[in-house]
Structure 1
Amino acid sequence: MSELTAMAGRRVLLVEDDYFIATDMQREFEDSGAEVLGPVSRVQEALDLIAASPEIDAAVLDINLHDEMVYPVADVLQARGVPFVFATGYEKTMIPAPYADVSLCTKPVLPQEISRALFA
């Protein structure tokens, strides 16, 4: 059984500005039975999608979106109690202190890593 089975039936927000990474993750998550919200590639798009989505089970956030940091999205998700991971090329030491407890999946990241970080 795949590690991605933990995603089945979950609504997962995908915030990623690299088209190929976003479409690969979306396909993998949907193949595992998840409903993907997005992908979106800008902070405001993510905030709008969150506001329009009463149910979000988890989120995957790239930190740098077209030279804009994703932290406002992280703040809204934290306030709503939605678990999320950072999928990024940044090192843990680059993450601001308020997000020290957030799981970091270093790119290139496998969808199974994200599933483990979110649902294990």
Structure 2
Amino acid sequence: MNDPDLCQDLSGMHVLVVEDEALLADVMADELEAFGIVPLGPCPSVASAMEAIRDSARLDGALLNVQLRGELSFPIADELRLRGIPFVFVTGNDPAVTESYPEAPVHSKPAEIADVLASLAALIRERREPSAASPA
């Protein structure tokens, strides 16, 4: 499960986990730790995620479930977008629901954590090296 490139790219990163299914949230947090990532949360609601974003001294990326106990996670996505923090959707919803966020990869549940983290690592890499994303 531990891809050496992912471990190197993401080791030490602080990643917000926004998931309302407690068991899945705990599994995701454990899987992040296995990659050397510091999980923040998990946050089961928009309010708790917004508080975590506000209170975090460091936030490198986020994994967002779309549907959170009857709420959509889009206010969280909007806040992350404003702050320039990359995020990935992990959802059981139709991926088309996220079309307002073309910069965010969408992974359908059940998703392989390595695939989700590869998407996040690519976004973080682009953010660190913007010139690498565009030809010189």
TM-score clears 0.5? yes
Please say if residues 95 and 108 of structure 2, whose CA atoms lie closer than 8 Å, have aligned partners that are also in contact.
no
Equivalent residue, structure 1, for 2:119: 117
State the TM-score, normalized to the length of structure 1. 0.92
Residues 72-111 of structure 1 aligned to structure 2 (within 5 Å): 72-95=75-98, 97-111=99-113
C-alpha contact 2:6 2:121 (8 A) present in aligned 1 = no
Would you identify which runs of 4 or more consecutive aligned residues in structure 1 move more than 6 Å? none
C-alpha distance in structure 2 between counterparts of 1:41 and 1:30, whole Å: 19
Residue range with higher mean Cα deviation, 53-62 or 97-106:
97-106
**TM-score, normalized by length of structure 2?**
0.82
Q: Which structure has the larger Rg?
A: 2
- The one-letter code of the counterpart of 1:102 is A
Any unmatched runs of 5+ in structure 1? none
Secondary structure of 1:98's match? coil
Contact persistence 1:4–1:111 (CA under 8 A): no
Q: Higher RCO, 1 or 2 (CA under 8 Å, sep at least 6)?
A: 1
- RMSD over equivalenced CA pairs, Å: 1.3
Distance, in Å, in 1 between the alignment partners of 2:15 and 2:103 is 19
Alpha-carbon contact 1:77-1:83 (below 8 Å) kept:
yes
Give the distance between the partners of 1:42 and 1:80, measured in 2 at CA.
19
Residues 9 and 35 (structure 1), Cα distance of their counterparts in 2 relative to 1, 3 Å cut: same
Q: Are residue 59 (structure 1) and residue 59 (structure 2) matched?
A: no
- Segments of structure 2 that go 5 or more residues without pairing to the other structure are 123-136
Alignment: residue pair count: 119
1:19 and 2:17 matched = no
